[in-house]
Each structure stands twice: as structure tokens, then as C-alpha cells.
């Protein structure tokens, strides 16, 4: 039986990867998604409106984070070291999703799709269940409840004992994280639009929820998976979970305020242009009236 909570080696984290048919299949899917995104971005720019490279880079980086979390060296410790497993899930729920969301894949799909596919995607985006899944309260509950339900119930122990369930957990956290961060940081095509204040409140609510969860895990009296983790590892994972989630939330708030400042600047410029146009029209009307017949 392997030692409980082995210390992660830097060389393994950076240079090794998880093999097997499932990892190869996952990598093929991830590469395929990146290839589709690049092809769609070229197709969307065929009419002269170039798809921003910043969005391409953000989406590619998000997929790279997903690939590392699922197939990289960090995945080799997900069944042996609780703290490393926590970091892995945070990469899937708090790091990769906002990067993917800022790539605006739904908008890209709509702009690059053919007419029939475009209509189907539009019906999908505006369906009742898509509206339900992207409701602010729903995405908040999905992400927060997933953390509590996974770590504080037998689900964590079962996933450590069954690789298929563990793979589903990775996919689940990536999915709910993408839903949450699409509402918070993305300007993608969604069933409904959200004001700046709503998105800020959504992020702020996460602060006490995540902090309480991290403190709860960090103060347990026995390991959550006694067959594979030590108590010190479990408590350390709770501290890491609390600290990293708060760091990610602070970064998200910073991005939101930068977006708000840029939006206010764009509105000010637009208002100035409208005012200048109104003044120019008024002057033109006055000049025409003075030059006309008495």
C-alpha cells in the first residue's frame, strides 16, 4: 500500500503526465476543441471583422490549464495527496473556466456557423433550461454546493476508489465553473444580460461561502479519506482551498472593475460624440436659417 499523502515532486508536477486510454482520449478532445476554435475564428474573420487575438489566446490558455489539470503531473497525485487534489479542482473550477469564458466560444460559434446551425444554436441559447442554468442564483448554488457536496459527503471517498467517478468529478467542476464565470466575467452571448452590480454581488457572495468551507475542511478532526490522506494533509488542503479561492475572487473583482472603467469610458466618449453631433446640427440649422430668404 502506498504511503499516505506523498509529498509532490516538482519534476513530476512539471515533466510527467498521466497515461492510459482515457487520458489520450481526453487530450484528443481538448486538441480538437482548440483546432475548432482556431478554425472558427478564421471563418468569423472572413468578412473583414477580425476575431481578436486576445480572445484566442485566452481560450487556448484555458484549454492548456484543463489539459494540465486532467493529464498533467498534478493528476498523478489526485488520489494520494488531498492538497494537490484541491489545487487540481480549483484549476478546473476557478482558473480554466474564466479564461475559456473570456474567449466567448458561444459568440464565435454563432458568428462562424452556417445559417441552419446558427438558428439551432440560437434556439439552444434562448431555451428555457439554458436560461435557468445561467440564472445568477443557480450558478452560485451549483458551484458552491458542488464543493460542499463533494468534499463533505462520502462522494470524495467513493471518487478516490473509483476512477470513473473521479473523472466525472473533474468534468462536473469544469462545467459548473464555466457556467459561473460565464455570468461573471464574460461578454459572451447568454440567454440574459447581467448588469455590473449583479456580477459584483455574485462574486462577493462567494467570499463568505468559500471561506467557511475552507475553514470547515481545515478544522476537521480526521482525514476525509483515511485510506489515502493524512490529517495534516487534509487540514492543509482546507487552508489552501480557502486561500486560493479568495485570491481568485479578488482577481475576478479586479477584472470586473477594469471592465466597468472601460465601459464608462466608452459611454463618455459616445456621449461626447452625440453632443458634438447635436451642436454641429444646431449650428448648421442656424446657419441655414440666417442665409435663407427673409
Q: What phi, psi does 72 have (nearest 5°)?
A: -75, -175
User: Cα dist. 257→122, 199, 210, 264, 285 in Å?
Assistant: 30, 11, 21, 10, 42
Nearest-CA neighbor of 58 among 179, 168, 187, 180?
Answer: 187
Q: Is residue 3 part of a domain?
A: no
- Strand (E) or helix (H) holding 208: helix 196-218
Alpha-carbon torsion angle 39, 41, 44, 47, nearest 10: -100
Number of folded domains in the chain?
1
pLDDT at 288: 60
C-alpha triplet 44, 49, 55: angle, nearest 5° = 65
- Residue 256: predicted pLDDT: 80
Residue 1's pLDDT is 44
DSSP code of residue 7: P
Q: First and final CA of the chain: distance in angstroms?
A: 104
Residue 81 is assigned to a structural domain of this protein: yes
Domain hosting residue 55, numbered range: 10-275
Report yes or no on 291 lying in a domain: no
Residue 86 forms part of a structural domain = yes
Any domain includes 60 = yes
Residue 282 located in a structural domain: no
pLDDT of residue 50: 83
Is 281 part of a structural domain of the chain?
no
In-domain check, residue 75: yes
Q: pLDDT tens track of the chain, all 294 residues?
A: 456 778 888 888 888 888 778 888 888 999 999 999 999 998 877 666 788 899 999 999 999 999 999 999 999 888 889 999 999 999 999 999 999 999 999 999 988 888 888 888 889 888 888 899 989 899 999 999 999 999 989 999 999 888 889 989 999 999 999 999 999 887 788 887 788 888 888 888 888 888 888 888 988 888 888 878 889 999 998 989 888 888 888 888 888 887 777 766 676 666 657 766 666 676 666 656 555 555
Q: Hey, what long-range contacts does 266-269 have (CB within 8 A, 24 or more apart)?
A: none
Amino acid at each position: 500500500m502506498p504511503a499516505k499523502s506523498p509529498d509532490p515532486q516538482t519534476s513530476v508536477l512539471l515533466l510527467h503526465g498521466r497515461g492510459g486510454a482515457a487520458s489520450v482520449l481526453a487530450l484528443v478532445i481538448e486538441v480538437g476543441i482548440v483546432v475548432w476554435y482556431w478554425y472558427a475564428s478564421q471563418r468569423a474573420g472572413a468578412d473583414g471583422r477580425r476575431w481578436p487575438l486576445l480572445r484566442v489566446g485566452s481560450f487556448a490558455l484555458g484549454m492548456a490549464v484543463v489539459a494540465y489539470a486532467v493529464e498533467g503531473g498534478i493528476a498523478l497525485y489526485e488520489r494520494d495527496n488531498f492538497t494537490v487534489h484541491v489545487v487540481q479542482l480549483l484549476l478546473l473550477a476557478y482558473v480554466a473556466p474564466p479564461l475559456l469564458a473570456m474567449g466567448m466560444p458561444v459568440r464565435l460559434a454563432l458568428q462562424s456557423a452556417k445559417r441552419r446551425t446558427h438558428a439551432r444554436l440560437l434556439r439552444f441559447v434562448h431555451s428555457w433550461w439554458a436560461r435557468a442554468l445561467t440564472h445568477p442564483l443557480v450558478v452560485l448554488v451549483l458551484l458552491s454546493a458542488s464543493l460542499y457536496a463533494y468534499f463533505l459527503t462520502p462522494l470524495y471517498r467513493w471518487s478516490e476508489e473509483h476512477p470513473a467517478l473521479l473523472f466525472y468529478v473533474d468534468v462536473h467542476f469544469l462545467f459548473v465553473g464555466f457556467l459561473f464565470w460565464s455570468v461573471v466575467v464574460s461578454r459572451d452571448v447568454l440567454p440574459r444580460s447581467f448588469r455590473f452590480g449583479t456580477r459584483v454581488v455574485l462574486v462577493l457572495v462567494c467570499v463568505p461561502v468559500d471561506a467557511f468551507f475552507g475553514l470547515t475542511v481545515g478544522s476537521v478532526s480526521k482525514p476525509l479519506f483515511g485510506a489515502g490522506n493524512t490529517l495534516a494533509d487534509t487540514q492543509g488542503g482546507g487552508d489552501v482551498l480557502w486561500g486560493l479561492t479568495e485570491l481568485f475572487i479578488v482577481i475576478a473583482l479586479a477584472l470586473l472593475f477594469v471592465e466597468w472603467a472601460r465601459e464608462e469610458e466608452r459611454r463618455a466618449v459616445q456621449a461626447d460624440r452625440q453632443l458634438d453631433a447635436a451642436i454641429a446640427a444646431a449650428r448648421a440649422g442656424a446657419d441655414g436659417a440666417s442665409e435663407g430668404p427673409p
